[in-house]
Structure 1
Amino acid sequence: MRKIKVSVTLGCIFVLLLSFTNEFAVAQTPTQRVTDAPNSAFELKNGDRVVFLGNSLFENDFQYGYLELALTTRWPDRDVTFRNLGWTGDDVYGVARSTITNPPTGYELLLGELTKAKPTVVFLAYGGVEAEAGEAGLPVFKEGVTKLLDKIDQLGAKAILLSPIPVISADSAQNRAKRNAMLEVYASAIAKIAAERGKRFIDLFKPIQEISQKAVLTENGIHLNETGYYYLTTTLEKSLGLPPRTKPVAISVSKNTAETTAPAKILNSGMTDSGLKFTLDEAILPLPLPQEGPELTNQGPVIKITGLKKGFYTLTADDQEVITASAKNWEDGVEIKQGPSFTQVRELRQMILKKNDLFFFQYRPLNTTYILGFRSYEQGRHVKGLEEQSILIKWLEGQIALNRTPKSSVYHLTLLK
């Protein structure tokens, strides 16, 4: 379950869930299926609205923001709106969402929230909860997935189906193996539905299972921790056909000349007594590394500098020290894991987390029953305050837009004396 963080300064404690009747209406005309090119590289376009719909796999990322951060920074020149509708314990019938009254049912709430988000792209992550029902629950699950895809098609959005993730640890090895075997059965069912409907399918089960052999990915064997979401995000990017975030930089220096490859650009004549200066124009920001976990590689640009005399050289970026390494290290290639771009992306991540906190408490207030449910006669007046939260959300989205593009930095390499 998501760890709740309340921001006092932003005052976000309520949700906007209005006009259920209109949201739940089903179109009377036949639905045209929206297909995708599952094997092509994924791309978000200007004006897209991305929804993460599923169980705790999505809700728990409210704490880390990795999924939205990754997709936001991939296309920094495009305005894309993100809404996380993940709900811990939920299934394809919205069973966990029935928190106000009945009616509306949990399923009606699910469809209403999805419709209200006006998605153009929906990441769908179910199956983890439903697999507990075993083989007997498979037909009901497949019918539920099909109905959700029909709804997404009706809304004119593309759907991307994700498999459940594995159970990393359980009370016994035998129980873990049994549960994972059933999760794979449900993952196969999802993959088959995706193929039949012309949708993208992303297998998270096998990659996460393999990575778990070398890193601690969960809090309790089931729910991912920060490192787990980092790897989940990089797995998602790779499965979507997205290229690496950075390109290696090669610089060859002598006393009077210096040559390099993009995205670097030499600013002085070569390696002089005052050092070597160059800019590094990155196309997209790196992903911030998790606070705990193994030493991760290939996240920042790798810079190779040949022609240096023996000694140790310090690299600074905008006058801030980045790393010191030997001439041999620079010749082999040094990965940059801190500096202005990492500072920028950490600040961007905090903006995303604040925005998502506002949205979370807007559509899921702690006292939903008293504002929107059968006891709304007591505190229903606060509905207006829920609407006003949208102003703050929009403002934060504007700040995210202003800070998602990498800024050019001046790097300075000097001999350590």
Structure 2
Amino acid sequence: MRYSRTIFLKIGLYCLSGFLVNTTVQAQQITPFKEADRVVFLGNSITDGGHYHSYIWLYYMTRFPEMNLKVLNAGIGGDRVIEMVKRLDADVFAKQPTVLISTFGMNDSGYFEYNQEEPEKFADLKVQESFNAYQEMEKRFLGLVNTRIVLLGSTPYDEHVVIKDNQPFKNKNNAMKRIVKFQQESAKKNNWEFFDYNESISKINSKFQEKDPSFTISGADRIHPDNNGHMVMAYEFLKAQGFAGKKVAAVHLDAKHTSVLSLENCAVDNIQKTSKSISFDYLANALPYPLDSTARGWGAKYSQYDALKVVPFMEEMNEELLKVSGLKGSYQLKIDEEVIAEFSATALEKGINLSLLTQTPQYQQAIKVMFLNEERWEIERRFRDLAWVQHYFFQPKGLLNADNRKAIEVMDQHVAKDGWLRAKRDLYAKAMHPEIRQAWNAEISMLEKLIYQLNKPIKRRVSLVQISK
């Protein structure tokens, strides 16, 4: 039958629950974002160059299309707590967060020294340094008014994955877990919210490494998750917000009596039935969540879509369910007169997850939102590279945001010996001009406006036409 191979492959992946991490609906640990929230993610390179916060926003863009929400990246590669504290005013608080989400620990805990002499002493030193710096961060956070604080335990350093020619830093993650512990204690003391990525991602790594020692969510360097890892992070965050079990929409019709048995997050009307078909108008309150199948970013090997091999995102958070009882034979599914797929009456009785069918008009609509969000992310990354230059190079020299001829002359004295600075020299030569920054911000605003125009669900005409008895 037409489309059957594609459909069976997708449904096969959807049903491979035995290969996925066994998860259950859990209590809400992080309050969901609300209307007019400005959510700022403060972190290191995993936040700076990563997608997890963008994937989280994409969920809200598609699931809550009417919500006025802003998600902002405040990560800088290489940051420890001590560097984060120095840029709180200019780079974090200036974004006016109503929700401030902070994560650190990968750089705070150090690296190579774990394979040298006295690693335990080194770990004690790094944890204490991080704790001391965090006291100032905690004090500054307590001074914020009308800002909800969420602390995230850092994703783990995976010293257990087998990577050729890559010797792990032994017990580094144990030091990181000690840093996570004082964050958790701080959250409890201050009535802040807390979620531990270290524990949740470590469990996933451990489970899959039982069968494949080379598996890791923590990336090829044991540190930086790939696109699939960032989607797992988004899934874990959204699950902590209580979204597991929440459907995109659900329709259950009784074809025999031409009636609606149940609806969830949608409306159905104008049901019509003939001897060989049943059709109806369908308006969902949300779009299906689109998953990018391209490995994006420098050195990326995995796509966002590859996360489905690891976590049950489709079952738990991305069901657009169509169930029709009282049919016999096989049927062709059409949406807005476009042929989508063919299903048996038995399959329709059990329910079809339309989110698995990427050719539906509503999924194609969501893909536009996904690509626009990716464009937004790309431009925002320019500002993060600029922030690195400002706070890592210029701030210690008393030239923070100087953006003048002297600044670039000082920069040019160092680019020959500093590869990271050299890589960002061209960007800074542009971004030092306020007109360029204004143009980039205007482009981001335009993209966000377009996203919130295109993310509104549209009434669709759904038809099931019998093709065999």
TM-score normalised per structure 2: 0.69
Aligned to 1:391: 442
Q: Is the 8 A contact 2:48 2:384 kept in 1?
A: no
Q: Does 1:375 align with 2:402?
A: no
Distance between the aligned counterparts of 2:384 and 2:235, measured in 1? 29
Q: Which residue of 2 aligns with 1:284?
A: 286
Match for residue 304 of structure 1 among 323, 337, 340: 323
Show the 5 A alignment for 1:262-411. Answer: 262=263, 263-270=266-273, 272-291=274-293, 292-293=305-306, 294=308, 297-298=314-315, 299-309=318-328, 311-336=329-354, 337-338=356-357, 339-362=360-383, 364-365=385-386, 371=403, 374-376=406-408, 382-411=433-462
| Residue 136 (structure 2) aligns with | 147
Aligned mate of 2:148, from 158, 164, 173: 158
The 1:63–1:207 alpha-carbon spacing in structure 2 relative to 1, beyond 3 Å, is: closer
Residues 207 and 406 of structure 1: CA distance in aligned 2, closer, same or farther (over 3 Å): farther
Match of 1:71 in 2: 60
Cα offsets for 1:260-284 (capped at 9, x unmatched): 31135243243x2352212443333
CA distance in 1 between partners of 2:52 and 2:405 (Å): 27
Cα distance in 1, alignment partners of residues 59 and 192 from structure 2 = 21
Q: Which residue of 1 aligns with 2:242?
A: 241
Provide Cα deviations, 1:60-84, integer angstroms capped at 9, x if missing partner.
3349931221233443222222211
Query: How far did 1:235 drift?
Result: 1.0
Give the 3 Å change call, closer, same or farther, for CA 180–415 of structure 1 in structure 2: farther
2:90 matched residue in structure 1: 112
Equivalent in the alignment of 2:41: 52
Distance in structure 1 (CA, Å) of the matches to 2:170 and 2:344:
48
1 CA distance for matches of 2:179 and 2:287? 35
Per-residue deviation, 1:404: 3.0
* Matching of residues 70-89 of structure 1 within 5 Å: 70-89=59-78
Q: Check conservation: 1:305, 1:333, Cα contact below 8 A.
A: yes
Instruction: Tell me the distance in 1 between the aligned counterparts of 2:181 and 2:167.
Output: 21
Shift, 1:372, TM fit: 5.6
Q: Extract structure 1 runs of 4+ deviating beyond 4 A.
A: 38-41, 170-177, 366-374, 377-381
Query: Residue 375 of structure 1 aligns to a residue in which SS?
Result: helix
Mapped contact 2:280–2:463 kept (Cα < 8 A): yes
Please report how far the alpha carbon of residue 248 of structure 1 lies from its aligned counterpart in structure 2 after TM superposition. Answer: 3.8
In structure 2, runs of 5+ residues without a counterpart are 1-26, 111-121, 209-214, 294-304, 395-401, 413-428
- Cα gap change, 1:361/1:60 in structure 2, threshold over 3 Å: closer, same or farther? closer
Distance 1:373 1:178 in 2: 46
Q: Unpaired runs of 5+ in structure 1?
A: 1-37, 96-106
In 2, are the aligned partners of 1:42 and 1:242 still within 8 Å (CA)?
A: no
Q: Which residue of 2 aligns with 1:101?
A: none
CA distance change for structure 1 residues 216 and 268 in 2, over 3 Å: closer, same or farther?
A: farther
Question: In structure 2, what is the Cα distance between the partners aligned to 1:252 and 1:400?
Answer: 36
Q: Distance in 2 between matches of 1:354 and 1:158?
A: 28
The answer (yes or no) to whether the contact 2:277–2:465 under 8 Å persists in 1 is yes
Tell me how far 1:202 sits from its aligned partner. Answer: 0.9
Is it true that 1:91 corresponds to 2:69 in the alignment? no
Q: C-alpha distance in 2, partners of 1:367/1:192?
A: 33
Letter aligned with residue 322 of structure 2:
I
Counterpart position of 1:5: none
Give the counterpart letter for 2:179 in structure 1: Y
3-state secondary structure, aligned to 1:281: strand
8 Å Cα contact 1:121/1:159 also seen in 2: yes
1:261 to 1:314, Cα distance in 2 relative to 1, 3 A: same
Amino acid of the structure 2 residue aligned with 1:217: I
Match of 1:188 among 154, 163, 181: 181
Give the secondary-structure state (helix, strand or coil) at the position aligned to 1:390: helix
Q: CA RMSD in A?
A: 3.2
Change (3 A) 1:322 1:250: same
**Residues 28-54 of structure 1: CA deviation (Å, up to 9, x unaligned):** xxxxxxxxxx96762333332111110
Superposition map of 1:167-206 within 5 A: 167-168=157-158, 169=161, 175=168, 178-206=171-199
Instruction: Work out the CA distance in 1 between the residues paired with 2:203 and 2:109.
Output: 21
1:203-242 to 2 correspondence within 5 Å? 203-212=196-205, 213-214=207-208, 217-220=217-220, 221-242=222-243
8 Å Cα contact 1:314-1:325 kept in structure 2:
yes
- 1:174–1:404: structure 2 CA closer, same or farther, 3 Å change rule? same
| C-alpha distance in structure 2 between counterparts of 1:54 and 1:372, whole Å | 28
Q: Alignment identity in percent?
A: 19
Q: 1:363 to 1:257 in 2, by over 3 A?
A: closer
Q: State the 1:140 CA deviation.
A: 2.4
Quote the offset at 1:120 in angstroms: 1.1
CA contact (8 A) 1:227 1:290 kept: no
- Cα gap change, 1:222 to 1:282, in 2 (>3 Å): farther
SS in structure 2 of the partner of residue 393 of structure 1: helix
Measured after TM superposition, the shift of residue 174 of structure 1 is 9.8
Counting matched residue pairs gives 366
For the 8 Å contact 1:165–1:204, the answer to whether it is kept is yes
Structure having the larger proportion of residues in helix: 2
Q: Distance in 1 between matches of 2:183 and 2:341?
A: 46
Q: CA deviation at 1:211?
A: 3.2
Q: Distance in 1 between matches of 2:61 and 2:132?
A: 33
Shift of 1:218: 4.5
